[in-house]
């Protein structure tokens, strides 16, 4: 074989190898992203879309806050990307976050005690008058449409999903990945029979993920649903929604969980707004408020609360005990890992607010909460 023929063969082999490598790379990308379309969830259609159109919050194809809000506020003198990569903030703890296994209440105490178990971030179990309500459960390693990229857990869930007790209702505040997780929903379908009580439109995601229609309850603000002896009421929040490029195709909400004698309020994600005073006047006072305190920044001041605003919201709501959520588990902002709860503790002391800061997995008995001991400072 001459030199020219050898070169031709080498070129043909090289092209074949590159084509093979390209096909393999595409196949790899397809394998990695195989769950992404499903993770994006469903779209409003049919009766679900017709119901959304009747909502006072829905116009021109999307949901809206009562007042105009912006998810990002421009700051010409600030480079958020550079700050994210090179910022000096300590956005992860220096030591492992301590985890506890929730103490199971005695049967005689279940109907008497009002309890809260914080599993991390915004995932909660509310134990009220013998009922259990699971809130915004996210057990996946990442809050992202991909299991390879996106914010990863700083600590593991303190219990497995199959270890949860029998749940009476599963409440979702909105469809962002750190509050609504496809894998968790699908596993809950296997282990639990409770209905999913969600804001308008979120049922489209659940429907795509295989949740039976009879287990989906969608509510607009001020609408309620009864579960046993509990009333679950969707209330206002100042936030936004979206799992892909499209924004605000589903509603966001805060929640009132009310029994015959005890009341709990959960903010979901929200900026501080005057709606808290109205909710407190209509549905309060509350034995405990579960308030978002983390992932804030001056770049998005109207959609997440600063810790001092969380205390103000608690007071507006006429709350007794404040339990902070939405911190410690996922790194979603540029502040130090421990800053939200440090600021919250200082403000609570300054305004004489009762506060409990549980470790992930720790059960808080609302009438006898553990003293605030600054446990996070030892690992920060």
Report CA 190 to chain centroid distance, whole Å.
21
List of E strands, the chain: 58-59, 62-63, 115-120, 123-128, 131-135, 169-171, 196-199, 216-219, 224-227, 230-235, 254-258, 263-266, 286-292, 319-325, 354-355, 363-365
Digit-by-digit pLDDT tens for the chain (380 residues) are 555 555 554 554 445 545 534 433 333 334 345 679 999 999 999 999 999 999 999 999 999 999 988 887 867 778 777 777 777 899 999 999 999 999 888 777 788 899 999 999 999 999 999 999 999 999 999 999 999 999 999 999 999 999 999 999 999 999 999 999 999 999 999 999 999 999 999 999 999 999 999 999 999 999 999 999 999 999 999 999 999 888 999 999 999 999 999 999 999 999 999 999 999 999 999 999 999 999 999 999 999 999 999 999 999 999 999 999 999 999 999 999 999 999 999 999 999 999 999 999 999 999 999 999 999 999 99
Query: DSSP code of 202?
Result: T
Cα four-point dihedral sign 195, 251, 44, 208 = negative
Tokens 């093979």 correspond to 20
Quick count: other Cβ atoms within 10 Å of Cβ 199?
A: 29
Task: Report if pTM > 0.85.
Answer: yes
User: What domains sit in the chain, N to C, each tagged with a CATH number?
Assistant: 114-379 (3.60.15.10)
Q: Can you tell me whether residue 213 is helix, strand or coil? A: helix
């Amino acid at each position: 074989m001459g030199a020219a023929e050898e070169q031709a063969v080498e070129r043909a082999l090289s092209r074949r190898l590159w084509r093979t490598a390209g096909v393999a790379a595409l196949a790899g990308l397809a394998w990695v992203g195989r769950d992404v379309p499903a993770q994006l969830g469903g779209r409003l259609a049919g009766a679900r879309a017709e119901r959304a159109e009747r909502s006072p919050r829905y116009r021109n194809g999307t949901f809206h806050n009562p007042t105009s809000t912006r998810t990002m506020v421009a700051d010409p003198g600030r480079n958020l990307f550079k700050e994210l990569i090179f910022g000096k903030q300590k956005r992860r703890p220096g030591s492992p976050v301590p985890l506890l296994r929730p103490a199971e209440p005695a049967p005689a105490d279940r109907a008497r005690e009002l309890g809260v178990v914080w599993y991390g971030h915004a995932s909660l179990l509310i134990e009220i008058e013998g009922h259990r309500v699971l809130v915004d459960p996210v057990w996946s390693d990442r809050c992202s449409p991909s299991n390879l990229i996106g914010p990863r857990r700083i600590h593991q869930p303190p219990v497995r999903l199959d270890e949860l007790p029998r749940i009476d209702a599963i409440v979702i505040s909105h469809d962002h990945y750190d509050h609504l997780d496809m894998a968790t929903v699908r596993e809950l379908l296997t282990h639990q029979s409770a209905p999913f009580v969600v804001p308008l439109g979120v049922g489209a995601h659940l429907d795509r993920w295989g949740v039976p229609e009879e287990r989906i309850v969608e509510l607009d603000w001020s609408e309620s649903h009864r579960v046993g002896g509990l009333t679950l009421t969707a209330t206002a929040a100042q936030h936004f929604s979206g799992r892909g490029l499209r924004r605000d195709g589903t509603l966001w909400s805060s929640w009132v969980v009310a029994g015959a004698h005890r009341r709990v309020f959960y903010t979901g994600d929200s900026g501080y707004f005057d709606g808290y005073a109205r909710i407190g006047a209509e549905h309060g006072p509350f034995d405990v408020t579960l308030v978002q305190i983390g992932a804030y920044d001056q770049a998005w001041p109207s959609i997440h609360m600063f810790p001092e605003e969380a205390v103000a919201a608690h007071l507006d709501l006429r709350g007794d005990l404040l339990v902070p959520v939405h911190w410690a588990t996922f790194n979603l902002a540029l502040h130090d890992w421990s800053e939200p709860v440090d600021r919250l503790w200082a403000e609570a002391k300054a305004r004489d607010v009762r506060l409990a800061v549980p470790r992930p997995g720790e059960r808080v008995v609302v009438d006898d909460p553990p003293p605030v001991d600054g446990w996070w400072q030892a690992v920060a």
